[in-house]
Amino acid sequence: MSERKAATIGDVAREAGVSRQTVSNVVNSPHVVKESTRLKVQAAIAALGYSPNALARRLRTQRTSTIAVKLDPYSGGISGVVLDRFVHALTESAAARGLRVLLYAARTLDEELRDLDQLADAGEVDAIVLTGTSRGDRRAERLLERGVPFAAFGRPWGTDAAAHPWVDIDGAAGTRAATAHLLDRAGDRIAFLGWPADSESGNDRERGWREAMGERTAPRLTAEDGVAQGQEAVKALLPDLDGLVCASDALAIGAHLAAVQAGRPELPVVGFDNTAAAEALGISSVEQLPERVAAGILEMLMGPEGNKVADPAPQPTGLLVEPRLIIR
């Protein structure tokens, strides 16, 4: 007969009808949970034979003054600078609180899950910061099961009830402001050039354009991220457009080059990320402000001026940072 699989924090949460965070609070900080809920969770723990990871529990009492964040592989191009700025800002803000940042590298999801397990087992960090969140994020599930404090740069897409703290850029607010600016300046035919529909952040940016357009109609164009791709996607429709809002600076630069080649260098184009390349070409863009994201994440984990991860664990909280439209 095969050995019974050990119960996880997710199993306990389902049995008790509560969130994973509530189970984690019962295990690590029972005084913050009301008695009726605590008793229900404890009964589920007993029924399932759940045994919390002792090393993960030690993160509550043994301080390392270190937080971990993944360093993304270098990808080059125009739009890959926001996460670099975020990691830099996180490191500076953490240092101001007397904390260190440990960088880890992973090229695949399986590699990152392995790294997260190793960090939890070794007790090397007080908390972990995730980036690049996605729908049904397995990394968040793993850290919740391990009882490791963490926050995310990015929303828990696909759910209204987050189980962990997060901070994200309000992409819809950025494209909404960009579209309103072009409607006021250029005319009603303001198109949107975005990524394929499987991008959560891309869909969010498209939503802002649609909200600002209201009953007006204009094309929604699609291209993979890149200057050449953006250039190719718009050139056939340029004569019919009053302006263009793009999901990235790379797409905006491509659209601008296509407009120049078509004899319409004055066509207003707005990008997203406010990169040095967009600035050099005089292209308006949405500034993401990753420095505010870094400050917000540290405040969620450690309080306004704290220098250690909060105990009890941070409660699930979400914050959207409104970006800034830079007009050129």
147-204 per-position pLDDT tens digit: 889 999 999 888 766 788 999 999 999 999 999 999 999 999 999 999 998 889 999 9
Kindly list the domain boundaries of the chain, sorted by start residue: 9-52, 62-169+290-321, 171-287
Least confident interval from 30-39, 71-80, 184-193: 71-80
Percentage of the chain lying above the pLDDT 70 cut: 91
Instruction: Classify 286 as helix, strand or coil.
Output: strand
Name the superfamily (CATH) of residues 171-287.
Response regulator (3.40.50.2300)
Q: What is the CA radius of gyration of the chain?
A: 23
Asked whether the predicted pLDDT for residue 270 surpasses 90, the reply is: yes
Model pTM above 0.95: no
Asked whether the predicted pLDDT for residue 58 surpasses 80, the reply is: no
Residues 215-241: tens digit of each pLDDT: 999 999 999 999 999 999 999 999 999
- 127-131 and 269-272 strand pairing: unpaired
Q: Do domains 62-169+290-321 and 171-287 have the same CATH topology?
A: yes
Reply yes or no on domain 9-52 having CATH 3.30.1360.120.
no
Q: What is the mean pLDDT of the chain?
A: 88
- Residue 316: closest CA among 70, 109, 13: 13
What CATH class has 62-169+290-321?
alpha beta
